[in-house]
Amino acid sequence: MESEASSQSAAVALTIAISDSSANAGIQNDLKAFSANGAFSAAVITRVTAQNSDGVASIHPAPPESISKTLNYTRKAIVYSATINGQLFINHFP
């Protein structure tokens, strides 16, 4: 079965970043920008935040093995035309 991304004629852009619950930054903002420019979107979430325009209440890290597995698994099926990296927090990786 052909993936949705591979059946698209549009470029495929990957974002690796935090998830911003207010959708003003992070992956949500990247996905909006990709869509506005005609690109199909893929994402790997490194952190989940609880935030709004007043500030950040909490940040919860995704387990490093989950980040690695998500990235490696999607790479097997999708060829990316572009990648954008947000906050990776490399110090949490072995």
> Residue type for 76, please?
K
CATH number at residue 71: 3.40.1190.20
94 belongs to a structural domain: no
* Other beta carbons within 10 Å of 45: 18
93 belongs to a structural domain: no
Number of domains in the chain: 1
> Residue type for 54, please?
D
State which residues form the domain around 62: 4-88
**Each residue's pLDDT tens digit, 50-89:** 999 899 899 899 999 999 999 999 888 889 998 888 866 5
16 belongs to a structural domain: yes
Structure confidence at residue 88 (pLDDT): 61
Cα–Cα dist 12/80, whole Å = 5
pTM: 0.76
Structure confidence at residue 23 (pLDDT): 82
Say which residue the tokens 């325009």 belong to: 53
Structure confidence at residue 1 (pLDDT): 43
Q: What is the dihedral of CA 64, 69, 74, 75, to 10 degrees?
A: 90
Cα–Cα dist 93/33, whole Å = 29
